[in-house]
Each structure stands twice: as C-alpha cells, then as structure tokens.
Chain A
Amino acid sequence: MYAFKTLANQYVRFIITAIGIALCLMLMLFLLAIYYGVSDASVRYVRESEADIWILQRHAANLLRGTSLLSTRHGEIIKQVDGVRSIAPILFFTATVNVPDNTASMHLVGYDPSTGKGGPPEMVAGDTLQNDDQIILDYTFAAKYKLKVGDKLPIRDDTLTVAGLCDGTNLFVIQFAFITLNKARQLLGFQSILSCYQVMVNSGSDPLAVAAKIRSVSPDLAVYDKVTFLNNNIHEAETGVMPLLYVVALIGAVVLTALLSLILSVYVLEQQKDYAIMKALGAPTKFIPGIVIEQALMLAASGLIIALLLFNPMLNAVKRFSPTISAESSFSQVLLVAAGLIIISFLSTILPLLRQRRIYPLDVFR
C-alpha cells in the first residue's frame, strides 16, 4: 500500500522511470530476438535440407565460414559407396552484384534445379529456377534493395532475371541467393570444381555407417552426418559477432540495474522522515526493506508491461526499415528477460536497503 502510494504520488517520475526500464528491456528483447533469429536463419539451409550426409574438403567444417573445394571426380567415387541413394553437388561462392544505385554482396549457391536438392529451403514468391539465366533471391535482400520477381540483376559479366524469392536464407550480414550449378561454374570460370556434396542414403541405411564407408574410400574428404554438420554450423553461427549481442544485452542489464538502484535510492532519501517515523512507531525490521523491494518490483513490472506492449510494433517497424534484420521473438525469450528482470530488481535494492539501514528512529525526535 505504502510502496504503491509513494510511487503514485510522484506519477510523472514513475512513468518516466517505467519508460526507461521498458527501453532497456526492449533493447534486451531485441538483441535476444536478433541472436535467435540469426542463429536460426544461419542454419536453416542445412537443417531443412534432405541430405543425410554432407561432404566437404578436408578440414572444412561448416558452410558459414571457410572454404571448401572439391573435384567432380569425388562424386563418382561417392556414388559407388554402398548405401548411397543419390548425391547433389553444390557450389558456393560470394559475389558482388549491382543493385539499384548500389552494390551488394551475396552468398551464391549453385545447385541442380532438376533435382531441387541444395536449393532454397522455402519459396515465398515466384518460381524455382527454370534455366541458367535466373536467380532466386532471399526475400529480405530483395526488400532491402527493392527488387522483385522479373527484375534484372547484373552479376559480374552476366545479367540474371529474378525468378523467385525465398526465406530462411538470411545470415544477417549476408544473404544466400540461388543459381543453377552450370551458371555458378560459368560465373566462377571453373567447370570441374564444387564446394560440397549432399548425400542422400537408401531408406533403411544408417547414415553414420554410410558416412564411415565414404571416409574409408575417400580419406581426403571431410564427411559429416547431418546432426554433426548442423551442430558445426550452429556453433559457427553462435561464435564470432553473435556473442557481442549478449555483451550489449548484458550492458543493458547493468544500465537497468543502475537506473533502478538510483531511483530507489532517491525514493529512500525522500521517504527518510517517513521511515524514521515508522521505525520509531515499531515497524518490524523487514517492513521497510519490504517497501523498497515492492517498489522495485512494481517499477520493474510496469516497465515490463510497457516493453511487451511496444516490443512487437517496434520490431515490425525495424523490420520494415531494415528488412535484412532477422529477428525471432518468442515467449521463452520474454520469460528469460522477465526472470532476469526479477534478479535485477533484487540486485538494485541492495544500495537503497543499505541506505535505509542508516535511518534511525531517534531522527524523529530531533
């Protein structure tokens, strides 16, 4: 009662504080959403592929960073391994393209459109590739550069037509685009190289056993079952720049703790006389700390409510402004932030509680 009334009496300060808390929480929610969004999008291509086994150049472990170059002759050997149903050759390389009034980089994926293996995980507009002069763009890339199905896109010495737009191919700093394997080789200028093979095994065959057989016939290759390869890519996605997001979120949490601690200390200073009166009148030892903790939780809860009300509209606005920002918010993220907020609320009461201990009931008689 007292805790609420002292907050409500200074309602302008209360609202400003709640908004400040909400902004910190929105920052934390936003960074978490980006972290999970990018982590998910970075590996969606691998996760949703039909491949049971991925084969790369020796020492190459993922698609996100590093180079893998294989010869086409490897394919002939792999096809012969017992348990292999089919293989899909893929060629990756990064290219700079001319977009309207600008240039942009994209991660080109050359695949065989006749099998569809190695192609985009999900089409959201247009069609799959029908010939070598077409390209499928990530839809966020297309939105960012205002490209649509049917537009022409100059790449190196060639010009490709946008056949469709796909989803699940946004790596935040770069996006996938899909062309035919023939076109990829042509653009690169090498006809007999590949980046990796996707291998589909016969039904009933154990992918791990097949992978072991491939390793035995081609020890110069890096052979991964799907789970291992997916984990390699997740690990790659979550290292590098991504931990920075956690650091920034942590800084947000520290700022929030300092803000809440400061405002609670101000309340303690302002209520100094009231607390001295309460102590003189016989307030139990835990009564005033209870008020401070209640105030912290009320401010935190108000901030959380504002943050939850504003977060989705803000996220949508950010995505409209910058379509390549890949953010995925979820209830578990909200729970994580709410749990963190409760901890922050308690931490922020430490200084104000120490301050109130130095308020003495005798002060009332002075």
Chain B
Amino acid sequence: MSSDNKIITAELAGVTKIFSRSGNDVVALNNVTFKTVTGEMVLLLGPSGSGKTTLLTLLAGLQQPTLGDVFIFGKRVQDYRQAELQKIRASRMGFIFQTFCLLDSLRVIDNVTLVMKFAGILPGKAKENAVDCLERFGVGHLKNEFPGKLSQGEKQRVAVARAIAGGASLILADEPTGSLPTEQGMAIIEFLHKSVKSDGISVTIASHDERISKYADRIVHLRDGILS
C-alpha cells in the first residue's frame, strides 16, 4: 500500500454516503475515490454542504459508507473492532476542529496528555511529549492555563499540539482557520505544513479557504458530494 515510498494512511474507494433526513435521501458523497499519504498535505476545497466533513469523518472511521470501501492504515474500516478504531484514532490520528474543541475544565497540558492517555502512553512520557509539542508551537508557557484564558490563535495552536503530540501519522483538520484572523490562521497552516515536511505525517484539511492552497501539496475540489 505505498506509492513513491509514501505510505497510504487512509483511502476511500468508490464511496457513496447517503443520509436519510425526514424520509428523504440526501447524497453527501457520490462514488468518491480518495487517498491520503504520508508526507503530503491535501486541501479538500469546497463550499458548505459539499460533503467535506462527511469525507473527513469517513476517513476517521467515525461512520460507515453506504457503498464502497474505506481503508484506514491498509485495513477495511468494517474489519476493525470498535476498540481498535478508538485506539487508532487516539494513537495514529489527530483531529483539528474549527472551534478547537478543547476541554475547558482541563488545563492546556491535560488537554494534550488526555489523548495520549487514550492511546495508552504512560503519564510521564505523555507529559514530556505534551510539553515538547506545546513549546514547538509556541504555547509552552501556557501549559498550566485553562483554555478559557487563551486567545483564539493560542487555542488552535494547543489543538494542533494535541493532534500531533501522540505521534499521529494522519491529521484530519476540519476548517482549522475558520475561527481565526487571517494571520493566525495561516500561521497554523504553516505549522502543519512544517510538520508534514519534518515528520512525514499526512494532513488532510477540509476548508473553503482558498488561501490555504499555497501550502497544499494537492488540492481536491468537492462539490455536491462529487470529487473533481
């Protein structure tokens, strides 16, 4: 499962996803074939309702396709047990959300170590990784703060640190710049881009922000559930 020495981290093969809403079928994705590989940043461009988030959640194994196959780290998603998928999400995937999704009742450091706890990383090692990562993203001095006291940009950097700290090789980002001013948003994308190049991770960004294009290794357009 590799091409040009790059490992395929996740793949959709002829995937169709249909939702039933109020008795009507809505086609969110229509026969989509897509893959992510290590060392590559893919930008999934499309307007709201185009199916970007559905595609990301399928790549994360959070839902099943109506038709077609989803492969995560080389294995069909249906062939994973629930506990295995949870473990993979915690240890090999990282998530970045538009609204950061930090846990307000936990300090920054605990937000980052929590996912590593899910992955089964020992507390000492998790803390060490978390501190390193937070410092790398310029928010190490905020490790003992609660998220409520951080700026939007700082929150997103903590969220990126959380996504990367556990050693994830596939990062899925859903509108990561959506809540940020342009400068801060682009700084986050730069951070991610550097990680792709330095750590060889795979990043898929779903966004309608075309300014991200200049950082992407590959741009995929999605409209009405159809990839182009």
Residues of A within 8 A of B (CB): 1-2, 5-6, 9, 273-274, 277-278, 280-285, 287, 361-362, 364-365
What residues on A are CB-neighbors of B93 within 8 Å? Answer: 282
Partner of A274, one of B91, B95, B97, B105: B105
What residues on A are CB-neighbors of B87 within 8 Å? Answer: 282, 284
Type the 1/0 row for B75-96, where 1 means its CB is closer than 8 Å to any CB of A: 0000000110111111101010
Say how far B174's CB is from chain A's closest CB, in angstroms: 6
Report whether over half of chain A's contact residues are helix, strand or loop; otherwise say mixed. Answer: helix
- Chain B residue, CB-CB nearest to A6: B105
Q: Does B115 contact A (CB under 8 A)?
A: yes
Contacts A2-B103, A273-B101, A282-B118 known; 12 new A-B pairs at CB < 8 A: A5-B105, A5-B106, A278-B103, A280-B60, A281-B115, A282-B85, A282-B86, A282-B89, A282-B115, A362-B62, A364-B97, A365-B97
Query: What are 12 pairs between A and B in contact, CB < 8 Å?
Result: A5-B105, A5-B106, A274-B103, A277-B101, A281-B95, A281-B118, A282-B89, A284-B86, A284-B87, A361-B62, A362-B62, A365-B56
The answer for the CA separation of A271 and B213 in the assembled complex, in Å, is 36
Type the 1/0 row for B82-126, where 1 means its CB is closer than 8 Å to any CB of A: 110111111101010100010111100010001100110000000
The answer for the CA separation of A6 and B97 in the assembled complex, in Å, is 22
Say how far A250's CB is from chain B's closest CB, in angstroms: 36
Q: Does B33 contact A (CB under 8 A)?
A: no
What residues on B are CB-neighbors of A365 within 8 Å? Answer: 53, 56-57, 62, 97, 174
Report whether over half of chain B's contact residues are helix, strand or loop; otherwise say mixed. Answer: helix
What residues on A are CB-neighbors of B57 within 8 Å? Answer: 362, 365
Instruction: Judge whether A2 and B89 touch: CB under 8 Å.
Output: no
Q: When A and B form their complex, which 6 residue pairs have the shortest distance between CB atoms, in order from nearest?
A: A282-B90, A282-B89, A277-B101, A5-B105, A282-B86, A282-B118
Instruction: Judge whether A283 and B118 touch: CB under 8 Å.
Output: yes
Q: Does B31 contact A (CB under 8 A)?
A: no
Instruction: Judge whether A285 and B83 touch: CB under 8 Å.
Output: yes
Instruction: Judge whether B83 and A9 touch: CB under 8 Å.
Output: no
The answer for the CA separation of A9 and B104 in the assembled complex, in Å, is 10
Instruction: Judge whether A364 and B101 touch: CB under 8 Å.
Output: yes
Q: Does B184 contact A (CB under 8 A)?
A: no
- Chain B residue, CB-CB nearest to A360: B62
The answer for the CA separation of A256 and B114 in the assembled complex, in Å, is 32
Say how far A127's CB is from chain B's closest CB, in angstroms: 68
The answer for the CA separation of A78 and B89 in the assembled complex, in Å, is 88
- Chain B residue, CB-CB nearest to A3: B105
The count of chain B contact residues (Cβ–Cβ below 8 Å) is 29
Q: Does B63 contact A (CB under 8 A)?
A: yes
- Chain A residue, CB-CB nearest to B206: A365
The answer for the CA separation of A282 and B120 in the assembled complex, in Å, is 11
The answer for the CA separation of A122 and B168 in the assembled complex, in Å, is 77
The answer for the CA separation of A154 and B95 in the assembled complex, in Å, is 87
Instruction: Judge whether B90 and A283 touch: CB under 8 Å.
Output: yes
Instruction: Judge whether A2 and B106 touch: CB under 8 Å.
Output: yes
Assuming the contacts A2-B105, A365-B97, asked whether A283 and B86 have C-beta atoms less than 8 A apart, the reply is yes
The answer for the CA separation of A191 and B159 in the assembled complex, in Å, is 96
What residues on B are CB-neighbors of A2 within 8 Å? Answer: 103, 105-106, 114
Say how far B158's CB is from chain A's closest CB, in angstroms: 13
What residues on A are CB-neighbors of B103 within 8 Å? Answer: 2, 274, 277-278
What residues on B are CB-neighbors of A282 within 8 Å? Answer: 85-91, 93, 115, 118-119
What residues on B are CB-neighbors of A9 within 8 Å? Answer: 105
What residues on B are CB-neighbors of A1 within 8 Å? Answer: 106, 110
The answer for the CA separation of A274 and B97 in the assembled complex, in Å, is 13
- Chain B residue, CB-CB nearest to A8: B105
What residues on A are CB-neighbors of B63 within 8 Å? Answer: 362
What residues on B are CB-neighbors of A283 within 8 Å? Answer: 86, 90, 118
Say how far A117's CB is from chain B's closest CB, in angstroms: 70
What residues on B are CB-neighbors of A284 within 8 Å? Answer: 83, 86-87, 118
The answer for the CA separation of A277 and B83 in the assembled complex, in Å, is 16
Say how far A298's CB is from chain B's closest CB, in angstroms: 14
What residues on B are CB-neighbors of A281 within 8 Å? Answer: 89-90, 95, 114-115, 118
- Which of B91, B118, B174: most chain A CB closer than 10 A? B118
Instruction: Judge whether A285 and B105 touch: CB under 8 Å.
Output: no
What residues on A are CB-neighbors of B114 within 8 Å? Answer: 2, 278, 281
The answer for the CA separation of A277 and B90 in the assembled complex, in Å, is 12
The answer for the CA separation of A283 and B115 in the assembled complex, in Å, is 8
Say how far A344's CB is from chain B's closest CB, in angstroms: 26
- Chain B residue, CB-CB nearest to A286: B83
Instruction: Judge whether B95 and A280 touch: CB under 8 Å.
Output: yes
- Chain A residue, CB-CB nearest to B104: A274
Assuming the contacts A5-B105, A280-B95, A365-B97, asked whether A285 and B118 have C-beta atoms less than 8 A apart, the reply is no
The answer for the CA separation of A2 and B115 in the assembled complex, in Å, is 13
- Chain A residue, CB-CB nearest to B89: A282
Say how far A289's CB is from chain B's closest CB, in angstroms: 14
The answer for the CA separation of A361 and B56 in the assembled complex, in Å, is 13
- Chain B residue, CB-CB nearest to A361: B62
What residues on A are CB-neighbors of B60 within 8 Å? Answer: 280
